[in-house]
């Protein structure tokens, strides 16, 4: 145990980006097993090798920067998926529509039947079922 600690001293270790790489590698290898696709199974090792490299890396500043970039991108993706989800299904109490003119997102209460919606930004009116 002590030797592992000594070996890991000054090395970067595990972070969110590394976790994502490991997950990606697992998913790729699962898909390749499923499809019996050999090239993909070889490719599935790449993110894993890169994850190992990052864990053992001594260039901590560079790895931290990579992780920050990854987190920023992951957050943007999450936000995008959330926006898509909201515009498709809305919430229990509200539905979301995009203005036909300026694409502004507009939230309206659910279950009011067919209503005319006025965009708060450009004042365009359009009719939607809520
Ligand atoms: Zn508008």
- Do 71 and 15 reside in the same domain of the chain? yes
Ligand 1 centre distance from Cα of residue 97 (Å) = 10
Question: Which residue has tokens 């499923």?
Answer: 34
Q: Determine the pLDDT at residue 87.
A: 78
- Do 78 and 96 reside in the same domain of the chain? no
Helix 16-35 to helix 60-89 angle (10° resolution) is 60
- Do 49 and 82 reside in the same domain of the chain? yes
Ligand 1 centre distance from Cα of residue 43 (Å) = 46
- Do 70 and 125 reside in the same domain of the chain? no
Ligand 1 centre distance from Cα of residue 115 (Å) = 16
| Owning domain of residue 118 | 90-130
> How far is it between the farthest Cα atoms of the chain?
70
Ligand 1 centre distance from Cα of residue 75 (Å) = 27
Q: Each residue of 3-56: pLDDT tens digit?
A: 888 888 899 999 999 999 999 999 999 999 998 888 888 899 999 999 999 999
- Do 65 and 106 reside in the same domain of the chain? no
Q: Determine the pLDDT at residue 56.
A: 95
- Do 37 and 74 reside in the same domain of the chain? yes
Ligand 1 centre distance from Cα of residue 126 (Å) = 10
Ligand 1 centre distance from Cα of residue 108 (Å) = 14
Ligand 1 centre distance from Cα of residue 116 (Å) = 13
Question: Which residue has tokens 């919430």?
Answer: 91
Ligand 1 centre distance from Cα of residue 26 (Å) = 44
Ligand 1 centre distance from Cα of residue 117 (Å) = 10
- Do 52 and 94 reside in the same domain of the chain? no
Q: Each residue of 86-115: pLDDT tens digit?
A: 878 888 889 989 999 999 989 999 989 999
């Amino acid at each position: 145990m002590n030797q592992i600690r000594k070996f890991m001293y000054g090395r970067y270790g595990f972070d969110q980006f590394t976790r994502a790489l490991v997950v990606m590698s697992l998913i790729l290898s699962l898909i390749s097993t499923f499809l019996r696709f050999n090239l993909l199974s070889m490719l599935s090792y790449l993110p894993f090798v890169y994850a190992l490299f990052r864990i053992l890396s001594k260039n901590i500043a560079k790895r931290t920067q990579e992780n920050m970039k990854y987190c920023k991108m992951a957050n943007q993706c999450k936000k995008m998926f959330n926006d898509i989800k909201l515009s498709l299904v809305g919430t229990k109490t509200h539905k979301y529509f995009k203005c036909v003119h300026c694409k502004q997102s507009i939230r309206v209460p659910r279950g009011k039947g067919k209503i005319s919606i006025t965009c708060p930004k450009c004042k365009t009116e359009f009719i939607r079922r809520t």
